[in-house]
Amino acid sequence: MPSLNSLPFSDPGRPDTRSGPRLLIWLELGQWRGQVASAAWGTLHMASVACFPAVVGVAVQAVVDRSGTRLVLAGAVLLVLGVLTALGDTMLHRTAVTNWISAATRVQQLLAAKAVELGAVLTRRVAAGEVVAVSTGDVEKIGWFVEALARFTSALLATVGVAVALLVYEPELGVVVAASVPVLALSVLPLLPAATRRADLQREKGGRATELAADTVAGLRVLRGIGGEELFLDRYRRVSQEVRRAAVHSARMWATIAAVQVALPGLLLVGVAWYGARLALDGQISVGQLVTVYGSVSFLLFPLQNFVEIAMAWSFSRPSAKRAARVLALRRTDVDGSEADRVAMETAADGNGAAHTDGAGPHKAPLTGELYDPATGLRAPSGLLTAVVCGDPDAAGRLADRLGGHSPVAAEGEPSALLGGTALDTVPLATARSAVLVHDKDPVLLSGTLADLFDVPSSGRVSAPAALAAAQCSDVLDALVRSLAGEEAGSGDAMRARIIERGRSLSGGQRQRLALARSLVADPEVLVLDEPTSAVDAHTEARIARGLKEIRAGRSTVVFTSSPLVLDRADRVVFVHDGMTVAAGDHHELLRTTPLYRAVVTREADERPEEEGGAGGEAPGADRGDTSATAGTAPGTRDDMSMEEPA
Amino acid sequence: MIGAPTPEYDPSAPSHNSATTLPVGSSATVRGYVRELGRRHRVAFAVLLGVNTVAVVASMVGPFLLGDLVQTLADGRRDVHLTRTVSLFLAALAVQACFVRLVRLRGAVLGERMLADLREDFLVRSVALPPGVLERAGTGDLLSRITTDIDRLSEAMREAVPQLAIAVVWALLLLGALAVTAPPLALAVLVALPLLLVGCRWYFRRAPHAYRAEVASYAGVASALAETVDAGRTIEAHGLGERREELSRGRLKNWVDWSRYTLWLRSVLFPVINMTHVLILTSVLMIGGGFALHGWLAVGALTTGAMYAQMLVDPIGMMLRWYDELQTAQASLARLVGVREVALDEGDGALAPDGREMAADRVRFGYLPDTDVLHDVSLNVPPGTRLALVGPSGAGKSTLGRLLAGLYAPRTGEVTLGGAALARMPAERVREHVALVNQEHHVFVGTLRDNLRLARPAAADDELWDALAAVDAQEWARGLDGGLDTEVGSGGATLTPAQAQQLALARLVLADPHTLVLDEATSLLDPRAARHLERSLSRVLDGRTVVAIAHRLHTAHDADVIAVVEEGRISELGSHHQLVEAEGAYAALWRSWHG
């Protein structure tokens, strides 16, 4: 028998994701041993339960015949049957649950692997909620069908067996029963679609109510601060009552199904009793046989439940399997991606031309040197702190992504950024990521202890305390120490404090600084930071800028910012406007020489018309990408800028 | 290997969850609430038990008639009124089918009503919590109560409570019927009782905890994946993919371990139940058969009795099936009603501010008993002043802001508005005068109109548009497909954090308090938009007192008075020009910022 000890799988295998049913078949076949075992134990269970009526019949007949010996014999057989039933039932349950868990584990593992494979592009291919919905809801239904199939098989065998036995035992009754069983099995099927629909509606409304309640609670501080509680309570009461009505509406259908399940087999039972009684009155069958026949027909209600169940499992699991198959079929690289790779390779050929592309082995030369983006002409020299000012925050985000290579938001035909002349799009994803760490605007703090948070692949050069100091996290550490509970409270060790999902218990500024510290610990060759201090106050920001420069000494750092406090610390400032590098130099130099730069960083721009309305956005054409206009040196560009000065 | 050890890691243990900050109901509170619930629904309960009794009695007719038939045949008589028997049987069947339907339906009606009461009662109580309690406890704990605990209770209310009630009535009726048809057979049932009791005792001692852990460990699997999905970018950037897969494997392993353990528990329970059934049946047949052989019991009664004994399978199964659900539900119920134990801060309704002058007088305050965050802070804010609080993170700016907004009471000293202590006023009174907007910019699920009207329920659409215009939000709001009817919030149109922040400020414009505390209220807008917004807002808020906690220096620059907060004290106080001339910390910062 397959064992739960060996789960999770060392390799969950490659699923057949061509369609939902194929995925189900793939799962069934992948654990056929467990399915066979479950069907076998199920058959034993059913068979021993099916024998009870016959023995009860024998016992009653023994009393009628006044035979004490046969009565005791029947009792002994009953006990043996009881042991067999207990064994069959328990083992059936064990194998069935094992099958369910195996199928669920396999799908969960596949989902986790898929989520990791898709990484940054996942949310662009499929709604995040859909993946989670597969994990929380669909897996159970898929497992249910996979597992129920084995029990259905045993129920089918048992039903056929009893019908055949009755056919042999009492042919005329047997015919009636054999003809009725399929009718009984199918009788509730017409009601199931409507019942399923109502159940779905109820679930949907229930989900909506939960969402509303959760939403109201999540915004409770706002409500308590400004009012509107009654508005939201009324709204929730309405939805809650709708859920109640939908649930009762759904229950009405299930209640009808329950009534049908009582009435139809009951009719068969009455028919059998009537027919049997007539046979018994005519002396054709004994009293004991009458009891046996009655009991056997009652027994048939038992496997019939499996017939209904498999129909339900199928109708519930089909959409689930379809959704799971769709999610599991997603790939990170698609046609666009390979096109980008090709373009990138050509671009790379202009550089050192030795880009390693097959992704099979380690990269020959370490990725290092100057970071260069052909599209904007942005250059970030090796070992320096380069600050980039970009008027449009969205364009800044896209540029930051491109600097890391394999951009999740890449537009078609966009050239790859080059690091030391190697096109990053052409090196394997993992190599590119470990060379260039793009710290986006909204980095996520993963839940776990603070020590877990800093347990990231790193050079080992920067310790967590050093990074925390550089990112000015002392107040965060104080808050975390205060949050320590239980036995950890005495330790006063912030590294043992727990961070909840997305760091929700911390303020925006605190989260931002912890995330920055994490990236500093990683200590990559090139660190690209997109607005790392946007939620931090000016005092602290100034200190972080200092700390950042010290801790990144000798490494390349690119920081997208418009804060003078950070710009002031940068070795080099690049001003990107309208998708092009238009000026570069140090902060004070640019303040003097480039009026638009001055306008952007000193926030005087809001006094002028919205001249930047349509800026950013599309990646510039290839020809513009080649004109690496490293500005500050291009007077023409500056004139363009000054033309935008208000008259 | 059938046995399984208890897994070491228990994900449902409280220490592994985020600290529970709101109380969990005592058993007295839980009992009180259950009684109240029972009183409210006693009619529905009685109806359920009534229809159930009819259904069960109807189901007993078949075996009774069969026993009668067997008796007649065994007596060798041929005067059977077969038509009458069959008609009776059919009538009973019709009644049974109808009433089984009613039982299911009435069970659902009762369960759903109780469930609706539970969730509505909880929310009603939650929205009445004092703002200070919410501020301290955060909303995470409440959130998990209204989602996870309500979810766990729904199975209990929908199924467990009605089903258990049905099962108990059912079993009692069967035993009663057994005692009436053949009294000795009722005793025969008792033979199996010791086995059942010992087995169930063993099982129920372990089961509730084990199932809680199993459910929690399964939730752990899903939450690990949800986080991997949510943090896709971060995970890819830091090369954490393998670790995430490893984490998911670990969570799965923990779940499998708990499942294996609960499977082991059932591997004991199942044979016990099976053997109980067989023992009942065997002892009924043997003891009853023995009695019948001696002529102390009719064979018809024996047949009927054996059938009744077999029918006991169903209610016993139901009781076992739902009993532990009820135990698990108890824990969730305790968490739900725990909110009732938070004292509602009624405040002193007679207290009302006289004037608009805001003052803090030698205020000391700390979140923990022995560590003060604010030390002896005194501040006077005349009506109409724009005060900016600046200073490094952790210096106590936000704390001071919350005290000025009346969320917390100072440990010593006093924060007053128009001479009246804010902390002693009811929250509803405070917010007529003072409003706090922080970085938490919640967009409620609902229409844009709902999101605005909460601040002024009677507001007409014109007023809503004016408020949106005042915060520079008119343009994007006009661009929404449905205008004010556009569904926003989770599941609706997605607003950017900046738009959400504008929405929060528009609410403030509608609420129209004369004093505002803005805690980094524009931090999520890009710097230029923030400044633009602040300027348009200041036109709307002209004449109002504004306390702005800001990390951008231009906010300070625009203010009438700047207070530099450092290490829980006000270190510098004055206008921008005064502070720049004073050559202190603010002046240094201003120079490096402004270049």
The predicted-structure confidence for A31-50, as pLDDT tens digits, reads as follows: 999 999 999 999 999 888 88
Question: Please, where are the H alpha helices in B145-192?
Answer: 150-155, 161-181, 183-189
Going from N- to C-terminal start, the domains of chain B cover 23-341, 358-594
State whether B278 and A443 contact (CB < 8 Å). no
Instruction: Specify burial of residue B402 (Cβ count, 10 A radius: 0-12, 13-18, 19+).
Output: buried
Residue of B nearest to A299 (CA): B310
Confidence grade of residue A644 (pLDDT, cut at 50, 70, 90): very low
Chain A interface includes B275 (CB < 8 A): yes
Residue of B nearest to A501 (CA): B227
Cβ under 8 Å to B: A residues 454-483: 455-457, 472, 474-476, 478-479, 482-483
Which residues of chain B neighbour A56 with C-beta distances below 8 Å?
281, 285, 306
Pick A93's closest partner by Cβ from B134, B270, B281: B270
How many domains in chain A? 2
- If asked whether residues A308 and A405 sit together in one domain, one would say no
- If asked whether residues A352 and A292 sit together in one domain, one would say no
Chain A interface includes B281 (CB < 8 A): yes
- If asked whether residues A88 and A19 sit together in one domain, one would say yes
Contacts made by residues A110-114, CB under 8 angstroms, sequence distance 24+: A110/A12, A110/A15, A110/A328, A111/A135, A111/A139, A111/A324, A111/A327, A111/A328, A111/B225, A112/B224, A112/B225, A112/B228, A112/B244, A112/B245, A112/B248, A112/B249, A113/A12, A113/B245, A114/A327, A114/A328, A114/A330
Q: How high is the pLDDT of residue B1?
A: 54
State whether B293 and A68 contact (CB < 8 Å). yes
Q: How high is the pLDDT of residue B35?
A: 93
Q: What is the pLDDT of residues A158-194, one digit of tens each?
A: 888 888 887 887 787 778 777 887 788 778 778 888 8
DSSP-derived secondary structure letter, B230: H
Instruction: Specify burial of residue B540 (Cβ count, 10 A radius: 0-12, 13-18, 19+).
Output: middle
Global pTM reads 0.80
Chain A interface includes B231 (CB < 8 A): yes
DSSP reduced 3-state for B482: coil
DSSP-derived secondary structure letter, B60: T
pLDDT surpasses 90 at A610: no
State whether A263 and B94 contact (CB < 8 Å). yes
Number of Cβ within 10 Å of residue A334's Cβ equals: 11
Pick A218's closest partner by Cβ from B98, B127, B143: B143
State whether A121 and B232 contact (CB < 8 Å). yes
Smallest CA–CA separation between A430 and chain B, in Å?
7
State whether B101 and A434 contact (CB < 8 Å). no
- Whose tokens are 């776990």? That residue is A448
- If asked whether residues A420 and A557 sit together in one domain, one would say yes
Least trusted range by pLDDT, from A62-66, A535-539, B15-19, B241-245: B15-19
Cβ under 8 Å to B: A residues 264-323: 266-267, 269-270, 273-274, 277-278, 280-281, 287, 290-291, 294
- If asked whether residues A65 and A165 sit together in one domain, one would say yes
CA angle at residue A479 from A477 to A480, to 5 degrees?
65
Instruction: Specify burial of residue B303 (Cβ count, 10 A radius: 0-12, 13-18, 19+).
Output: buried
Q: Which helix (H) or strand (E) holds B548?
A: strand B545-549
Residue A280 in any domain: the answer is no
Residue A127 in any domain: the answer is yes
Q: What is the CATH number of the domain that holds A104?
A: 1.20.1560.10
- If asked whether residues A407 and A543 sit together in one domain, one would say yes
- If asked whether residues A368 and A346 sit together in one domain, one would say yes
- If asked whether residues A537 and A416 sit together in one domain, one would say yes
Domain enclosing residue A305, as ranges: 15-170+285-328
Which residues of chain B neighbour A564 with C-beta distances below 8 Å?
592-595
Q: What is the CATH number of the domain that holds A588?
A: 3.40.50.300
Which residues of chain A neighbour B512 with C-beta distances below 8 Å?
none
Chain B interface includes A350 (CB < 8 A): no
Smallest CA–CA separation between A236 and chain B, in Å?
8
Contacts of A377 (CB under 8 A, 6+ apart): A580, A581, A625, A627, A628, A629, A630
State whether A240 and B445 contact (CB < 8 Å). no
Contacts of A189 (CB under 8 A, 6+ apart): A308, A311
A208/A637: higher pLDDT: A208
Least trusted range by pLDDT, from A456-470, A519-533, B252-266, B382-396: B382-396
Question: Please, where are the H alpha helices in A523-582?
Answer: 538-551, 564-567
State whether CATH 3.30.420.40 applies to domain B23-341: no
Which residues of chain A neighbour B90 with C-beta distances below 8 Å?
267, 270
Chain B interface includes A262 (CB < 8 A): yes
Dihedral angle sign, alpha carbons of residues A574, A577, A583, A587 = negative
- If asked whether residues A73 and A164 sit together in one domain, one would say yes
Which residue type does B185 have?
L
Pick B101's closest partner by Cβ from A255, A482, A518: A255
Residue A50 in any domain: the answer is yes
- The one-digit pLDDT tens for each residue of chain B (595 residues) are 567 788 888 777 654 444 446 778 888 888 999 999 999 999 999 999 999 999 999 999 988 888 888 888 888 877 778 888 899 999 999 999 999 999 999 999 999 999 999 999 999 988 888 877 777 766 667 777 887 788 778 878 888 888 899 999 999 999 899 888 888 888 888 888 899 999 999 998 888 788 878 888 888 888 888 888 888 889 999 999 999 999 999 999 999 999 999 999 999 998 998 899 899 889 988 998 999 899 888 888 988 888 888 888 788 888 887 887 787 788 788 888 888 888 776 677 778 888 888 999 999 988 776 778 889 999 999 998 999 998 877 788 888 988 998 888 898 999 999 888 888 888 888 888 898 887 667 888 889 998 999 888 888 999 999 999 888 888 888 888 888 999 887 667 778 777 888 888 898 889 888 898 988 776 666 666 777 777 777 777 788 899 988 777 777 888 899 999 988 899 999 999 999 998 888 888 888 777 5
**Structure ipTM:** 0.84
Q: How high is the pLDDT of residue A478?
A: 83
What is the total residue count of chain B? 595
Number of Cβ within 10 Å of residue A354's Cβ equals: 12
Candidate ranges A3-17, A471-485, B146-160, B255-269; pick with highest mean pLDDT: B255-269
Per DSSP, chain B holds a count of helices (H) and strands (E) of: 24, 12
State whether A278 and B142 contact (CB < 8 Å). no
State whether B107 and A534 contact (CB < 8 Å). no
- If asked whether residues A302 and A390 sit together in one domain, one would say no
Dihedral angle sign, alpha carbons of residues B336, B338, B340, B345 = negative
Cβ under 8 Å to B: A residues 211-250: 211-233, 235-237, 240-241, 243-244, 247-248, 250
CA angle at residue B425 from B421 to B431, to 5 degrees?
105
A62/B138: higher pLDDT: A62
State whether B69 and A63 contact (CB < 8 Å). no
State whether B368 and A482 contact (CB < 8 Å). yes
Residue of A nearest to B131 (CA): A224
Cβ under 8 Å to A: B residues 301-360: 302-303, 306
Q: How high is the pLDDT of residue A360?
A: 40
Chain B interface includes A546 (CB < 8 A): no
Residue A322 in any domain: the answer is yes
Confidence grade of residue A628 (pLDDT, cut at 50, 70, 90): very low
Which residues of chain A neighbour B230 with C-beta distances below 8 Å?
128, 444, 501-502
Q: What is the CA radius of gyration of chain B?
A: 35
Smallest CA–CA separation between B196 and chain A, in Å?
14
Pick A231's closest partner by Cβ from B238, B253, B453: B453
- If asked whether residues A399 and A531 sit together in one domain, one would say yes
Residue of A nearest to B76 (CA): A281
Nearest one of A107, A99, A130, A98 to A23, comparing CA atoms = A107
Residue of A nearest to B67 (CA): A291
Which residues of chain A neighbour B519 with C-beta distances below 8 Å?
none
Chain A interface includes B491 (CB < 8 A): yes
Residue A232 in any domain: the answer is no
Q: Which two tokens stand for residue B354?
A: 């006289």
CB A417 within 8 A of CB A404: yes
State whether A538 and B552 contact (CB < 8 Å). yes
Cβ under 8 Å to B: A residues 525-544: 534-543
CB B306 within 8 A of CB B281: yes
Beta strands in B221-296 (DSSP E): none
State whether B440 and A118 contact (CB < 8 Å). no
- If asked whether residues A395 and A318 sit together in one domain, one would say no
Which residues of chain B neighbour A562 with C-beta distances below 8 Å?
526-527
Residue of A nearest to B297 (CA): A63
Q: Which two tokens stand for residue A35?
A: 């399915």
Nearest one of B125, B503, B348, B352 to A222, comparing CA atoms = B503
Pick B104's closest partner by Cβ from A83, A255, A482: A255
> Which CATH code for domain B358-594?
3.40.50.300
**Mutate: best of A1, A10, A63, A546, partner B, most B CBs <10 A:** A63
State whether A537 and B550 contact (CB < 8 Å). yes
Pick A82's closest partner by Cβ from B126, B224, B278: B278
Euclidean distance between CA atoms A458 and B250, whole angstroms: 23
pLDDT surpasses 70 at A617: no
Report, as an integer, the average pLDDT of A7-20.
Answer: 90
Which residues of chain B neighbour A230 with C-beta distances below 8 Å?
457
